[in-house]
Amino acid sequence: MVELSHLTRIIDIEYHDIVQGASQVYHDKIRAHMVDGSFIDIWFSKKIPGRFSYHWERRHLDGSLYRHDNFPDPRCKNVSTYPKHFHDGSQAQVSGS
């Protein structure tokens, strides 16, 4: 497992032009606050190596959200890349990832 504090530092350094700051929110999640007021959450599974998801929250700006998910959500079984799927602009708009 990659040390999240190390990833947080990389985000702060490499993406300083679009990120106001990144922090470790929980033991398994990083939050990056973007300069436009949105934020990106990145979750890392402690139980299954290599499993992660990210969520770009923009609902307060323009009503949109974007999320890559590899959780086996039963509502997304019809997606060709199941369990991987992508929420493209809204919770209901799901496609393969």
The tens digit of pLDDT for each residue in 75-93 reads: 899 999 998 999 999 988 9
Q: State yes or no: pLDDT of 68 exceeds 80.
A: yes
d(CA 23, CA 72): 27
CB 97 within 8 A of CB 76: no
Percent of the chain predicted with pLDDT > 90: 68
Q: What integer pLDDT is reported at residue 24 of this predicted model?
A: 94
Q: Give residue for tokens 């990389």.
A: 10
Q: Residue 10 is inside which H or E element, if any? A: helix 4-14
Task: Give the amino acid at 71.
Answer: F
* pLDDT value, residue 14: 97
The DSSP 8-state label assigned to residue 46 in this structure reads S
Q: Which long-range contacts (CB under 8 A, 24 or more apart) does 16-25 make?
A: none
Confidence of residue 2 (pLDDT cuts 50, 70, 90): low
